[in-house]
Amino acid sequence: MTAVDAAAVAQELPGHGQTVCVTGAAGYIASWLVKLLLERGYTVKGTVRNPDDPKNAHLKALDGAAERLILCKADLLDYDAICAAVEGCHGVFHTASPVTDDPEQMVEPAVRGTEYVINAAADAGTVRRVVFTSSIGAVTMDPNRGPDVVVDESCWSDLEFCKKTKVL
């Protein structure tokens, strides 16, 4: 394939010319999302705690990463850093969340971080869509729910069960 042919193919990709932000880009779900977005021609601004951390090598090795992946240093609770990452983006995939065994240290920062992402997206003026992800752990840990019940947005894990079994 010639450079001209490659450029023509790139122009046909659905994400050509669009930039999206993926918070928590080094995480498992986010990494796959970054991979798929790059494959579809998007420029991806991924937030990570430290862009130079060797644990981000898998992101930098993805096809298209050298040309269209920007790793942004951002803490979920640093509104200015989140705003910088979201600036100029057409969409935001919010996958980042604090992870700890202590629900008191997890819930409030997760809520505040999500508020920051949503507000940053609104303030950017270019974002058309925000996609919020969550762990399946948010809905499946309920010993009182039968195995045949369809789990949907009305289902939540039982907090007391999670505390007692320390599965948070």
Query: Is the same domain home to 49 and 104?
Result: yes
Cβ atoms 39, 64 nearer than 8 A: yes
Residue 2 domain flag: no
Per the structure, how many domains does the chain have? 2
Q: In what order do the strands lie in the sheet with 19-23?
A: 69-73, 43-48, 19-23, 91-94, 129-132
Residue 152 domain flag: yes
Q: How far is CA 84 from CA 73, 101, 146, in A?
A: 9, 30, 45
Lookup: tokens for 40: 């579809």
Query: Is the same domain home to 148 and 90?
Result: no
Q: Say how far apart CA 141 and CA 144 lie, in whole Å.
A: 9
Please give the chain's pLDDT, 168 residues, in tens. 454 444 444 556 677 889 999 999 999 889 999 999 999 999 999 999 999 999 999 999 999 999 999 999 999 999 999 999 999 999 999 999 877 767 677 778 888 999 999 999 999 999 999 998 876 677 778 888 888 888 877 888 888 887 788 765
Query: Is the same domain home to 64 and 142?
Result: no
Query: Is the same domain home to 23 and 93?
Result: yes
Cβ atoms 97, 24 nearer than 8 A: yes
Query: Is the same domain home to 123 and 160?
Result: no
Cβ atoms 113, 98 nearer than 8 A: yes
Query: Is the same domain home to 42 and 123?
Result: yes
Query: Is the same domain home to 113 and 128?
Result: yes
Query: Is the same domain home to 93 and 46?
Result: yes
Residue 8 domain flag: no
Cβ atoms 144, 156 nearer than 8 A: no
- Name, in order, each residue with C-beta under 8 angstroms of 24's C-beta and a sequence gap of 6 or more: 30, 47, 48, 76, 94, 95, 96, 97
Residue ranges of alpha helices (H) inside the chain are: 3-12, 28-39, 57-60, 65-68, 79-86, 103-124, 137-140, 159-165
Query: Is the same domain home to 30 and 90?
Result: yes
Residue 10 domain flag: no
pLDDT in the model for residue 6: 46
Query: Is the same domain home to 50 and 84?
Result: yes
**For the residues of 33-47, what is the DSSP string, one character each?**
HHHHHHHTT-EEEEE
Residue 72 domain flag: yes
Query: Is the same domain home to 116 and 164?
Result: no
In terms of residue numbers, what domain contains 59? 15-133
